[in-house]
A and B are shown apart, each in its own frame.
Chain A
């Protein structure tokens, strides 16, 4: 079974092709570029490079796994909509996974793990894990407000913001994304984990001019 893995929830623009066979998941090819402002430009060319290197075409993939965040909105949407369109065009299921789960799936830790990525505005997207199981989160909070008691290590690009031993990986990897997915289950709806409401200001209420001066 061949699985395309995409994630754009962090500054890492990630595309990979993972083979699932008897020996467990194996990365056939991957492309990762750290560039927080070029998700839209880089993702699709990177995926095509991956397919070429692996000797496959997009239609060879049996499923698509995509990181659903949490992550900065504009970049996050690039991966989500790319996966949605690929799935629709190729007639393949698209499995969203929490991007923090993908990091946790690749971390070599015994005991509790904290995974944190950059939410900007001095905040972190974070979740806590016991083994591979998420036991808290995902949330968005200032690092100082994140409860770390019980955790034995931290992973993710913001791992250094906590007083914990830091372990790899810093970003979701294709292998971690596929490991975090339940490919034999019905895919969940493709809903991004925004965790924040859109910035939008309600206009100040004007006094009605229609009733003013009415008889």
Chain B
């Protein structure tokens, strides 16, 4: 019997610097101890998207203070840490490198093993902090400004396979672009969600990308939808009509939620899994979670969505995946491990 082990997770793949701490119990269950996040989102707002160099600078400034906050939150000291996990990829190269270099130094100074883990796997693993162990097989849908993926998860530390992905924009990116068209603030998710609640989702028939009979069954496309919104708005303007922002938002959001949930439920059925995990920043979207709940219930699928705070990028998700990797007995990552902006989702831990 092994005693409880404390795993520290470091995340720096995009614009959030995250440090999380989890406790891995002898029976393999994980418990959240601390989750400190520093975000540079406000510094990117006027650029309408994440500026990599600004994000990287913010990571360097935030790393040690965020670490301090996580330790204070947990009441632990660094000497209590038994293993360190860090996002090795995918993500922004310069941003990842800050977290990876820091993690190497912390692990070396503490004399504990280092695990370079996959950010996407972290988004799935985080749900075990909220809803307990995952079934042997489940489907995960990741939706955020950077990801739109359907993943078949057969053991969170063993095997993750990409079932579908976006062929152009991520879902969150489409939100940001539509928000710009409508003069709504960045990031676009929350203001569009808010406006959509006041509008009619059936007001405008926006296209559902890649839903034709010969289209890839599980892949997504949001670029056409974004263009359709832009064109519709331009036409209305040319005709001198007022733009019904709530209706545009509701109809756009309906198109996104419809395609995402339809494809996820279809993939779950085809792959014969009975559990769907939805994670990533867009998972907090009210219409997406509502429609997913409805369609999963109809299909007899158990839906698991971590609370919004855990869905966005954070260190707890990396600590959670690190804990599962540690429990699986995986070999630690080498100290000369590079940050890998294009790390494939099938690589759960860098060896």
Q: Is the CB of A209 within 8 A of B243?
A: yes
Give the residues in chain A near B53, CB-CB below 8 Å. 73, 198-200
Whether the Cβ atoms of A81 and B105 lie closer than 8 Å is yes
A194 within 8 A of B: yes
Q: How far is the CA of A48 from the CA of B164 in the complex (A)?
A: 42
A201 near B47: Cβ-Cβ < 8 Å = yes
B160 interface residue per 8 A CB criterion:
no
Interface 0/1 of A65-91, CB less than 8 Å to B: 000000001100110111111111110
Q: Is A122 an interface residue (CB 8 A)?
A: no
Given contacts A41-B338, A194-B57, A202-B47, contact A85 B180 (CB under 8 A): no
How far, in angstroms, from A203 to B180 measured CA to CA in the complex?
A: 10
User: Which residues of A have CB within 8 Å of B243?
Assistant: 209-210, 212-213
The reply to whether the CB of B147 lies closer than 8 angstroms to some CB of chain A is: no
Question: How far, in whole Å, are A148 and B77 apart by their CA atoms in the complex?
Answer: 52
One of B93-101, B265-273, B301-309 at the interface:
B93-101
Q: Is the CB of A210 within 8 A of B335?
A: no
Instruction: Given A44-B335, A88-B78, answer yes or no on A203-B48 (Cβ-Cβ < 8 Å).
Output: yes
Known: A74-B56, A85-B102, A192-B60. A206 touches B336 (CB 8 A): no
CB distance from B318 to the nearest CB of A (A): 16
Contact digits for B338-351, partner A, Cβ 8 Å, 1 yes 0 no: 11000000000000
The answer to whether B335 touches A45 (Cβ under 8 A) is yes
Q: Could you say which of A85, A202, A215 contacts B242, with CB atoms under 8 Å apart?
A: A215
Q: Which residues of B sit under 8 angstroms from A77, Cβ to Cβ?
A: 56-57, 59-60, 94, 97-98, 101
A99 to chain B minimum Cβ distance, whole angstroms, is 16
B157-183 vs A, CB cutoff 8 Å, 1 = contact: the mask equals 000000000000000000000001111
**Contact of A40 with B338 at beta-carbon distance under 8 Å, contacts A58-B109, A81-B102, A82-B104 already known:** yes
Chain A residues with CB below 8 A from B109, complex form: 58-59, 85-86, 89-90
Q: In the complex, A206→B56 CA distance in Å? A: 28
Q: Which of A41, A45, A90, A199 has the most CB of B within 10 A?
A: A41
Tell me whether B237 is interfacial, beta carbon within 8 Å. Answer: yes
Residues in B whose Cβ lies below 8 Å from that of A214: 242
Assembly CA distance A206 to B64 (angstroms): 39
B64-84 CB mask vs A (1 if < 8 Å, else 0) is 100110000000001000000
List B contacts of A59 (CB < 8 A).
109
A81 touches B339 (CB 8 A): no
What's the least CB distance linking A66 to chain B, in Å? 11
Give the chain B neighbours of A58 by CB distance below 8 A: 108-109
Contact pick for B56, options A43, A45, A73, A208, CB 8 Å: A73
B236 part of interface (Cβ distance < 8 Å):
yes
Give complex CA distance A74, B78 in Å. 26
Contact B47 A203 (CB under 8 A): yes
Partner of B237, one of A86, A201, A212: A212
| B residues 171-207 in Cβ contact with A at 8 Å | 180-183
Q: Shortest Cβ distance from B38 into chain A, in angstroms?
A: 14
Asked if A198 and B51 make an inter-chain contact with CB atoms under 8 angstroms apart, the answer reads: yes
A215 to B47, CA, bound (A): 31
In the assembled complex, how far is the CB of residue A170 from the closest CB belonging to chain B, in whole angstroms?
24
Contact: B242 with A44, CB < 8 Å? no
Q: How far is the CB of B183 from chain A (nearest CB, A)?
A: 5
Interface residue? A183 (CB, 8 A): no
Residues in B227-251 with C-beta less than 8 Å from chain A: 233, 236-237, 240-243, 245
Inside 8 A of A201's CB, which chain B residues have their CB? Answer: 47
* Smallest beta-carbon distance A33→chain B, Å: 11
Is there a chain B Cβ closer than 8 Å to A42's Cβ? yes
Are B101 and A89 touching (Cβ within 8 A)? Answer: no
Contact check, B47 vs A48: say whether CB atoms are below 8 A apart.
no
Q: How far is the CA of A84 from the CA of B98 in the complex (A)?
A: 11
Measured CA separation A44–B63 after assembly (Å):
17
Cα of A192 to Cα of B57 in the assembled complex, Å: 9
Contact A48 to B93, CB < 8 A, known contacts A41-B338, A77-B60, A84-B102: no
Question: In the complex, which residue of chain A has the Cβ closest to the Cβ of B337?
Answer: A41
Residue B54, interface by CB 8 Å: yes
CB interface residues, A 15-38, toward B, < 8 Å: 38
Contact at A74–B335, with CB atoms within 8 Å?
no
Residue among B102, B103, B237 with the highest chain A CB neighbour number at 10 A: B102
Shortest A130–chain B CB gap in Å is: 32
A/B interface sample: 28 pairs, CB < 8 A:
A38-B338, A41-B336, A44-B104, A44-B108, A45-B336, A47-B108, A74-B94, A77-B59, A78-B98, A81-B60, A81-B63, A82-B104, A84-B105, A89-B109, A198-B54, A199-B51, A200-B54, A202-B47, A203-B180, A206-B183, A208-B183, A209-B181, A209-B182, A210-B183, A210-B243, A213-B237, A213-B240, A213-B243
B-to-A contact residues, CB < 8 Å: 46-48, 51, 53-54, 56-57, 59-60, 63-64, 67-68, 78, 93-94, 97-98, 100-106, 108-110, 180-183, 233, 236-237, 240-243, 245, 335-339
Closest 10 pairs (CB-CB, A-B): A89-B109, A198-B53, A85-B105, A200-B51, A44-B104, A213-B242, A85-B102, A203-B48, A82-B105, A78-B101
